[in-house]
Amino acid sequence: MLQALIFDVDGTLADTESAHRAAFNLAFAEEGLDWVWDEALYTELLNVSGGKERILHYWKSTRPGMVELAGDGLRDTIARLHEHKTAAYEGMVNDGQVELRPGVLDLIMAAQQAGLALAIATTTSPVNIAALLRKAMGTDWRSYFGVVEDASTAPVKKPHPQVYLQTLQRMGRDASQCLAIEDSANGLQAACAAGLATLITPNRFTAHHSFDAALHVVPDLQGVTVAHLQAWHADRV
């Protein structure tokens, strides 16, 4: 029987990626870099989970001989870029430029009323999660989720299942009792590797991914009820 829902954040709870891309570009400009990530490039870079990891991957692929910038070590520079990017993203969220995807808030409320446990399993930073959900759900957003696992607690990024395995352990639930909700192939792979049935809600950055292993795929959560989730979960092989 379905007892818990585990949500990814970026791309799943909200269409965050356009704001993330804009924030990366602002950070690059602030550091005097000529890097500009357009939508096509950023869509490819999303195959690399984690903001710092994404910067490092791009740096190595385009400037393999560069090891220092402005006298700072590579890792220190990436950390500074990511700090600028995080601040820019938080400002965009606070300005109302990022909203929850259709049906997300209704499903969260309905699931809580139905007695399902709720958790977050993401590889984004706790600052990004708090900015998004504080704006969308209020200052008590954390009370809705019994467990929140993020980049600070699960540093090994998706598609590795670490974040889901730790979420299940902290929840005290077996994977067979839970349903993961994701938007990407990396997220799906991570959830499946942890033994979780997974509902996919793709977005324009992930619509081209393969979701063959998903339990079910829907355009978004608009109109998706707890009864739907229970029925899909019960029908899994």
Is the domain of 50 the same as that of 85?
yes
Is the domain of 193 the same as that of 229?
yes
Residue 36: the pLDDT is 97
| Number of independent structural domains in the chain | 2
**Mean pLDDT over the full length of the chain:** 94
Residue 230 structural domain: 4-15+99-234
Is the domain of 139 the same as that of 65?
no
Q: What is the dihedral of CA 210, 103, 123, 129, to 10 degrees?
A: 160
Q: Which residues are catalytic?
A: 8, 10
Is the domain of 156 the same as that of 134?
yes
Confidence of residue 63 (pLDDT cuts 50, 70, 90): confident
Residue that the structure tokens 């997974």 belong to? 198
Q: Is the peptide bond before 202 cis (omega within 30 degrees of 0)?
A: no
Distance of CA 124 to the CA centre of its chain: 6
Is the domain of 126 the same as that of 200?
yes
The C-alpha atoms of residue 121 and residue 190 are separated, in whole angstroms, by 10
The stretch 122-147 carries a mean pLDDT of 95
Q: Give the residue from 78, 94, 110 where a domain finishes.
A: 94
Percentage of the residues of the chain whose pLDDT score is greater than 70: 96
Is the domain of 171 the same as that of 186?
yes
Q: What is the pTM for the complete model shown? A: 0.90
Is the domain of 107 the same as that of 216?
yes
Buried b (16+ CB within 10 A) or exposed e, 204-225: ebbeebebeebbbebebbeebe
Residue 72: the pLDDT is 59
Q: Give the residue from 66, 94, 122 where a domain finishes.
A: 94
Is the domain of 180 the same as that of 224?
yes
Is the domain of 170 the same as that of 204?
yes
CATH number, residue 63: 1.10.150.240
Burial class (CB in 10 A: 0-12, 13-18, 19+), 129: buried
Q: Give the residue from 38, 73, 94 where a domain finishes.
A: 94
- Check residue 229 and give left, alpha or beta (phi > 0: left; psi -120 to 50: alpha): alpha
The C-alpha atoms of residue 150 and residue 152 are separated, in whole angstroms, by 5
Is the domain of 11 the same as that of 73?
no
Whether pLDDT at 48 is above 80: yes
CATH number, residue 188: 3.40.50.1000
199 and 181 in contact (C-beta within 8 Å)? yes
Residue 119, token pair as written in the block: 């958790």
